[in-house]
């Protein structure tokens, strides 16, 4: 068993590097948006994609956005607990490439959004996907994208695991 721990250490650095890249990309894009857009600004890029500036005080799909402020610290705490749990999982399962990649993306996204909550009290969202003027998906960011891709990879990993078993 000690062999798995020692061989997992170099892999842990690899997984943390992926998470760090997500955090850096997320924070860099948010700095660009905060410097170039006022709250509510929107610039079309394509017929279905706009760059916007939106502040989300809630979670996914603005869940608890109007809760009165306590949700900021709740989501920071939840992010801290999730970070600890993901780090523990990466140390134990860093040899499982797809699983660890998924966790790294989720970790980077979660930390990116926690940084926003600590710095601003809200998460900066700026990607807006829409169809004509009839349907708009809630604005999101690089961190949200990494979390979503990570979640999809977790599902794929589990489906592969079930298929092998």
Q: How far apart are the C-alpha atoms of 152 and 150, rounded to whole Å? A: 5
Cβ proximity of 79 and 116 under 8 Å = no
Cβ proximity of 4 and 91 under 8 Å = no
Q: SS in 3 state form for 104-152?
A: HHHHHHHHHHHHHHHHHCCEEEEEEEEECCCEECCCECHHHHHHHHHHH
Pick the catalytic residue from 26, 41, 116, 144: 144
Establish whether 116 is a catalytic residue: no
Pick the catalytic residue from 26, 41, 116, 125: 125
Establish whether 157 is a catalytic residue: no
Catalytic residues: 125, 144
């Amino acid at each position: 068993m000690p062999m798995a721990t020692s061989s997992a250490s170099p892999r842990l650095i690899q997984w943390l590097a992926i998470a760090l890249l997500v955090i850096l990309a997320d924070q860099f894009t948010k700095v660009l948006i905060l410097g170039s857009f006022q709250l509510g600004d929107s610039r079309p890029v394509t017929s279905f994609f706009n760059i916007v500036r939106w502040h989300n005080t809630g979670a996914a799909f603005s869940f608890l956005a109007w809760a009165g402020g306590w949700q900021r610290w709740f989501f920071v705490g939840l992010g801290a607990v999730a970070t600890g749990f993901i780090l523990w999982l990466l140390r134990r399962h860093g040899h499982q490439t797809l699983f660890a990649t998924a966790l790294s993306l989720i970790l980077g996204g979660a930390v990116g959004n926690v940084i926003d909550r600590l710095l601003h009290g809200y998460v900066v969202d700026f990607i807006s996907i829409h169809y004509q003027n009839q349907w708009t998906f809630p604005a999101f960011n690089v961190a949200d994208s990494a979390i979503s891709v990570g979640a999809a990879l977790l599902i794929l990993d589990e489906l592969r695991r079930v298929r092998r078993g």
